Amino acid sequence: MVKKIIKKDLSYSAKDIDVLKGLEPVRKRPGMYIGSTGKEGLHHLVWECLDNSIDEALAGYADRIEITLLPENKVRVVDNGRGVPVDEYRQSGKSALEIVMTTLHAGAKLGSKAYQVAGGLHGVGVSVVCALSKHLRVEVCREGTKYFQEYSQGKAVTKLEKAGSCSENGTSVTFAPDPEIFSNIQFSWLIIVHHLRQQAYLTPGVKIIVLDQRKKGEEKDYTFYFEGGINSYVRYLIGRTAVRHPNPFYAKDEEDGIQVEIALQYTEDIEIVEECFANNIYTPEGGSHLTGFRSSLTRVINNYARKNDFLKENEENLGGNAVREGMVAVVSVKLREPEFEGQTKAKLGNPKVKNAVEKIFNLHFNDYLERNPQEAKIILEGCLRASRAQRAAKAARATVLEKHLRGMTLPGKLADCSSRKPQESEIYIVEGESAGGSAKQARNRAFQAILPLRGKILNVEKAHLPRILESKEIKALIIALGTAIADDFCLDKLRYHRIIIMSDADIDGAHIRTLLLTLFYRYFRPLIEGGYLYIAQPPLYQVRKGKKEWYVYNDREQENLLKKLEKPYDIQRYKGLGEMNPEQLWETTMNPEKRILKRVTIDDGAQADHIFDSLMGKEVLPRKKFIRSHAKFVQNLDI
């Protein structure tokens, strides 16, 4: 019997209770408000400022939004809306502007009628930006007068002052993220451009401009303006993929005060692309609007199939995956009080939205099929084809998996680690037997496993599962990971929580790395989404001067080092891991205290899918176009 020990001397009283004031909770626990203090959280600051401008546009008061990336990691967001109110707030002695900027849950979207539809209904958006900025300046133009006020870490550092006159109303927010909060304060041009393009499609008739003015001589800009709304966005998402039917479906209607807008079209691809928005906020985890759309789509197609004899009496209904295969769809809802799950607004929770989307899509999609019998036939035949192929593939996969993977032992080429705890174990997937030999000698056997691969693995983008499992190298990798594949995939059986691709720093190494990334993206995507996949960064150069030596990982680092060294010195360019002895490989690439690992992430699933299709698919033309358009940006080209 275990005796419970109760501590009697622990002091715990009223003095131990902390009450955080103002924006202190945001600085204390930023992840609760912006999701993380990494790249996603950093860019979330921009989205919070942008949401306010979009809300002005949705309300009909703004038609121009401008986002500028400035030197010293600053961002400026400007709109020509009404401008934040600057009059005194309820005898507080402070302006409404200062209240909005420095108080959680303060804003015009919480109870007033200033906004019928808005994304930032939590009332914490711009105040969170203020709390997490080293410096923030707001400029407001109202009724011909310009006002400004400055803040730092959530507190006003100047009073509200007049700064002359202006010709139109609007708000400008310029902020610099606080390096005490964020691990990296470098904004990504590509992430911001993608997000703004998305918002421009969702806000037709509004001009959105983005400028990069961070480096003199390297300035760039984009202007987005679309009249077609989400119909145009569906066409953009489809890209060069062939479509099954020429006329896309589009519907816009309102139910119970909820505006619903849906566009979709089927393509010849098998991938499913669904993007959902609530008050223009992208909800990557879906929610009630996506649930309503999916259930209604399945029901309408099955009802139409029964009614028009596409399905016989003894045939079972089409499943959700079959009716969605090859579909590109955008679902956008606008409502008075959206309930997001979490401050980062990744999922919509309003139950009423599901019913509204179901009712509107039921009505309009059924009408679309009835009025367009030829389109309906093409869509139904595609769904039936997908259903039969999926059933056949499931049976074939079961047979193939039974043949290739059941009862298999760990591959002989795997040098396993002694630890049996996945959370502390890692596996290096190494190119070539030579590098594999060095890695086996270099590793820490307690927690590092080595799996050498011979040559370039099969391009899985061009192959089906039976052929994939005939590849000895891929089969060895599947068994070593322990998760199985396809229908048998089980993340809980993963044997290593760090899977590290380690290839040579040359063209062949880059090709092998790309082939492995294609395999992981197509067949082990949960490993990427869970943050288990990494790419090792071996050094590019070894610099020697006398008895001293330095390992350099990129060209800029080498340039900086050589400026500090006086000649003579020797430089060795590493092209293969086999050029390093085990001690060097451990010191530069495998030692957890010194190594550089890059975690593989998916920022945009649709874009990632498009890139893999273009670069690794059967069509040659998209690869040619990609090479021609990106040739001038190539670095470290081996000749």
Give the model's pLDDT for residue 120.
46
CB 158 within 8 A of CB 165: no
Average pLDDT across the chain, whole number: 85
Residue from 461, 506, 529, 604 carrying the catalytic annotation: 506
User: Which of 347, 372, 162, 193 lies closest to 265, judged by CA?
Assistant: 372
- Per-residue pLDDT of 48-103, as tens digits, reads 999 999 989 988 899 999 999 999 999 999 999 999 999 887 767 788 899 889 88
Residue 627's pLDDT band, with cuts at 50, 70 and 90, is low
Taking residue 453's Cβ as centre, other Cβ atoms within 10 Å add up to 24
Contact 107, 120 (CB under 8 A): yes
Distance CA 266, CA 250 (A): 13
Of 3.30.230.10, 3.40.1170.60, 3.90.440.10, 3.40.50.720, the CATH number of 230-397 is 3.30.230.10
Q: Do domains 24-224 and 422-538+597-633 have the same CATH topology?
A: no
Kindly indicate the confidence band of residue 632, based on its pLDDT and cuts at 50, 70 and 90.
low
Given the residues 24, 63, 508, 587, select the one marked as catalytic: 508
To the query of whether residue 508 is one of the catalytic residues in this protein, the response is yes
**Contact of 287 with 57, CB cutoff 8 Å:** no
Q: Which residue has the higher pLDDT, 64 or 608?
A: 64
88 labelled catalytic: no
CB-CB contact of 126 with 49 (8 Å): yes
**What does the domain layout of the chain look like in residue ranges?**
24-224, 230-397, 422-538+597-633
Question: How far apart are the C-alpha atoms of 170 and 146, rounded to whole Å?
Answer: 9
CA proximity to 175, closest of 94, 72, 86, 80? 72
Domain 24-224 has CATH 3.30.420.40: no
Q: Is 256 a catalytic residue?
A: no
Q: In this prediction, what percent of the chain has a pLDDT beyond 90?
A: 52
The residue to which tokens 């451009």 are assigned: 193
Q: Active-site residue among 79, 431, 473, 579?
A: 431
Looking at residue 565, its pLDDT comes to 87
Cβ atoms < 10 Å from Cβ of 146: 18
Tens-digit pLDDT profile for residues 541-586: 889 998 899 998 888 888 889 988 888 889 988 877 878 889 999 9
The DSSP symbol for 340 reads B
Helix (H, G, I), strand (E, B) or coil at 19: coil
Report d(CA 530, CA 600) in Å as an integer. Answer: 10
Q: What is the pLDDT of residues 509-545, one digit of tens each?
A: 888 888 999 899 888 999 999 999 999 999 888 899 9
Which class is 422-538+597-633 in CATH? alpha beta
Tokens of 582: 């085990």
Q: State residue 639's pLDDT score.
A: 39
pLDDT digits (tens, 9 = 90+) for 419-461: 999 999 999 999 877 788 889 999 999 999 999 988 788 888 7
Q: What mean pLDDT is predicted for residues 29-36? A: 86
9 counts as catalytic = no
